[in-house]
A = this chain, B = another copy of it.
Amino acid sequence: MLSRSRWLCWNLGAIQLGNSPVGKTRAQGQPVPLSAPPPAGKRLSQKPRGSGAGARGSPPPAAFCRPAFLQLTPEELRRADDHTGRAVQSPRDGRRRLPWSTGYAEVINAGKSQHNEDQACCEVVFVEQRPSPRGWLSSREGSGEKGFYFHYWALFDGHAGSGAAVMASERLHLHICEQLRELVEILQDPSPPPICLPHDTQAGSADPNQMSNAEDRGEVLNDAVPRFHLEKAVSHESLVIGAIENAFKHMDEQIERERASQHLPGGCCALAAIYLMGKFYVANAGDSRAIIIRNGEIIPMSREFTPETERQRLQFLALLRPELLGKEFTHLEFPRRIQPKELGKKMLYRDQNMNGWAYKKIEEDDLKFPLIFGEGKKARMMATIGVTRGLGDHDLKVFSSNIHIKPFLSCFPEVRVYDLTQYEHCPDDVLVLGTDGLWDVTNDKEVAGVVMEVLTSYEPNDPCRYTMVAQELVVRSRGVLKERGWRLANDKLGSGDDISVFVIPLGGPGNYT
């Protein structure tokens, strides 16, 4: 996603921006060894995630790995890794491999990076209540397992190496599980979540009948009833959102901790859909996108986080922490780079408070490179990166400088909620997740058109139909190889990026189980 084409070619005075050495010299595609113990949680419908080229324990350097659910043979893996053929990959037995008959398809880029830097994951995860330190629960519930399942689909669009994307695709759902373990009892209780929990207990393990002292007992028994002059009600849904947000943070921290020992270069955008207790939680950090198509209507389930959409947050941080700019950047935005000879003239600018533009007299400080620069897909932060949220990138610096990008990148997702129970869905209603390779050339309306067109050509109870949609979306965005490169049906350039798509039926056979 942040390929060489995403790096700005520009002479930046002392910084000497150019094609990034990060993208060129770092080993790419190295899968993450599983030596570090994963957080607690159970994965269902899961086989050891393999590269297809061998076990993951001691992978060869720069091994190429694809999602385990694809179950690629060595020969298929070679085909998937072929930039010239760009064969579309889908689960071989889509009928059984993915829950809810989910459709999935992917294709490698046209040569912008050595391997496909997208990764994907689809799991059903059991969240088991954490054992109480005082053993309350075992005495209360006997030896029965207490918990719930969530369904999980996620896409990771890697850049500057695939280590972060691979690790995130293997671990993010486990971090979500870990956060939810604290909440098992609370989420299963229809009464409002308690504001405060007693000493030494974990969220979800507060059993008033087992309290050791009166104060704790009083606290928990009554806490759902507001006793304070001002007390905010917090919903169960807010707790799940908070759990997902903190799971992203912990995932990012794990990548930071293990990046040296596990060789985790680069970073990745992350888009995850979690189905839990009747609701979809769609969490997005980066420029992937999710939409629901329901009865032909498009419902956006995410927004993209780029230097343009997050300009004011980034400028605000730069204004308050100018030392992060290393004397090389200005927090102001200008429509183009200023020439030294233009000193004293008036130029259009905008700062962190403005959405409009105004003229200002150019001063010495304005000759620095703007923090945000460029438009659309070419917009960059610090002339380096085209997305502003995601996981990893802890070592990413402005080229030939000691200026770190990370303080400006946020690992926190925006989480949107869709209540599946509020509407009776038919088998043609779907949630589509796609990396930017899809959306760069195919807009929401076109995607909805393809979805409807393909679905009507299959029986409503045919579980293959969602895979067919995913494949068609990928093929139409990739295009066909002609003399002048990959071309769409309208002869425009197809996407040269990695493309990955999930098509999740909202009312198909076997859902909600």
Residues of A within 8 A of B (CB): 10, 179, 182, 193, 195-203, 215, 219, 226, 228-234, 237-246, 249, 313, 316-317, 320-321, 335-338, 341-342, 344-348, 350, 353-359, 362, 373-375, 378, 410, 412, 414-415
- When distances are taken between beta carbons in the complex, the residues of chain B under 8 Å from A230 are 336-337, 373-375, 378
Q: How far is the CB of A197 from chain B (nearest CB, A)?
A: 4
Is the CB–CB distance between B342 and A196 below 8 Å?
Answer: yes
Determine which of B237, B239, B355 lies in contact with A245 in the assembled complex, contact meaning CB atoms within 8 Å: B355
Q: What is the count of identical protomers in the complex?
A: 2
Is the CB–CB distance between B197 and A356 below 8 Å?
Answer: no
Is the CB–CB distance between B242 and A415 below 8 Å?
Answer: no
Determine which residue in A202, A230, A350, A374 has the highest number of CB atoms from chain B within 10 A of its CB, and name it: A230
Supposing A230-B373, A317-B320 touch, asked if A193 and B348 sit within 8 A by C-beta, the answer is yes
A-B contact list, 15 entries, CB within 8 Å? A195-B348, A196-B342, A196-B362, A197-B346, A197-B347, A203-B346, A226-B336, A230-B378, A234-B348, A238-B355, A241-B356, A242-B350, A243-B358, A245-B353, A313-B316
Is the CB–CB distance between B355 and A241 below 8 Å?
Answer: yes
Determine which of B245, B336, B414 lies in contact with A228 in the assembled complex, contact meaning CB atoms within 8 Å: B336
| Closest residue on chain B to residue A242 by CB atoms | B356
The 6 closest A-B pairs by CB, nearest first: A241-B356, A242-B356, A242-B358, A232-B335, A231-B336, A197-B346
- When distances are taken between beta carbons in the complex, the residues of chain B under 8 Å from A341 are 215
* Bound Cα distance A336, B223 (Å): 11
| Closest residue on chain B to residue A346 by CB atoms | B197
- When distances are taken between beta carbons in the complex, the residues of chain B under 8 Å from A354 are 241-242, 245-246, 412
Supposing A230-B374, A240-B356, A358-B243 touch, asked if A201 and B346 sit within 8 A by C-beta, the answer is yes
- When distances are taken between beta carbons in the complex, the residues of chain B under 8 Å from A362 are 196
Is the CB–CB distance between A198 and B336 below 8 Å?
Answer: no
* Bound Cα distance A347, B357 (Å): 44
Other A-B pairs, 20, CB within 8 Å; known A231-B335, A243-B356: A10-B229, A195-B336, A195-B347, A196-B338, A196-B348, A197-B345, A199-B345, A219-B342, A230-B336, A232-B375, A233-B335, A234-B335, A241-B357, A242-B358, A245-B355, A246-B358, A249-B353, A313-B316, A320-B320, A320-B321
- When distances are taken between beta carbons in the complex, the residues of chain B under 8 Å from A342 are 196, 219
Is the CB–CB distance between B234 and A357 below 8 Å?
Answer: yes
Determine which residue in A195, A336, A358 has the highest number of CB atoms from chain B within 10 A of its CB, and name it: A358
* Bound Cα distance A316, B319 (Å): 12
- When distances are taken between beta carbons in the complex, the residues of chain B under 8 Å from A356 are 237-245, 415
- When distances are taken between beta carbons in the complex, the residues of chain B under 8 Å from A317 are 316, 320
* Bound Cα distance A193, B347 (Å): 11
* Bound Cα distance A249, B229 (Å): 37
- When distances are taken between beta carbons in the complex, the residues of chain B under 8 Å from A378 are 230
Is the CB–CB distance between B337 and A228 below 8 Å?
Answer: yes
Is the CB–CB distance between B240 and A203 below 8 Å?
Answer: no
| Closest residue on chain B to residue A226 by CB atoms | B336
Determine which of B337, B338, B357 lies in contact with A238 in the assembled complex, contact meaning CB atoms within 8 Å: B357
* Bound Cα distance A237, B357 (Å): 9
Q: How far is the CB of A215 from chain B (nearest CB, A)?
A: 8
| Closest residue on chain B to residue A202 by CB atoms | B346
Q: How far is the CB of A75 from chain B (nearest CB, A)?
A: 44
- When distances are taken between beta carbons in the complex, the residues of chain B under 8 Å from A348 are 193, 195-196, 234
Q: How far is the CB of A297 from chain B (nearest CB, A)?
A: 18
- When distances are taken between beta carbons in the complex, the residues of chain B under 8 Å from A231 are 335-336
* Bound Cα distance A184, B127 (Å): 64
Q: How far is the CB of A453 from chain B (nearest CB, A)?
A: 32
* Bound Cα distance A336, B249 (Å): 25
Q: How far is the CB of A314 from chain B (nearest CB, A)?
A: 11
Supposing A242-B350, A321-B320 touch, asked if A355 and B415 sit within 8 A by C-beta, the answer is yes
| Closest residue on chain B to residue A343 by CB atoms | B199
Is the CB–CB distance between B197 and A239 below 8 Å?
Answer: no
Q: How far is the CB of A344 from chain B (nearest CB, A)?
A: 5
Is the CB–CB distance between B219 and A345 below 8 Å?
Answer: yes
* Bound Cα distance A321, B320 (Å): 8
- When distances are taken between beta carbons in the complex, the residues of chain B under 8 Å from A246 are 354, 358
Is the CB–CB distance between B203 and A359 below 8 Å?
Answer: yes
- When distances are taken between beta carbons in the complex, the residues of chain B under 8 Å from A232 are 335-336, 374-375
| Closest residue on chain B to residue A375 by CB atoms | B232
* Bound Cα distance A342, B249 (Å): 27
* Bound Cα distance A415, B313 (Å): 18
| Closest residue on chain B to residue A342 by CB atoms | B196
Is the CB–CB distance between B336 and A239 below 8 Å?
Answer: no
Supposing A317-B320, A375-B230 touch, asked if A335 and B195 sit within 8 A by C-beta, the answer is yes
- When distances are taken between beta carbons in the complex, the residues of chain B under 8 Å from A193 are 348
Q: How far is the CB of A164 from chain B (nearest CB, A)?
A: 19
- When distances are taken between beta carbons in the complex, the residues of chain B under 8 Å from A237 are 356
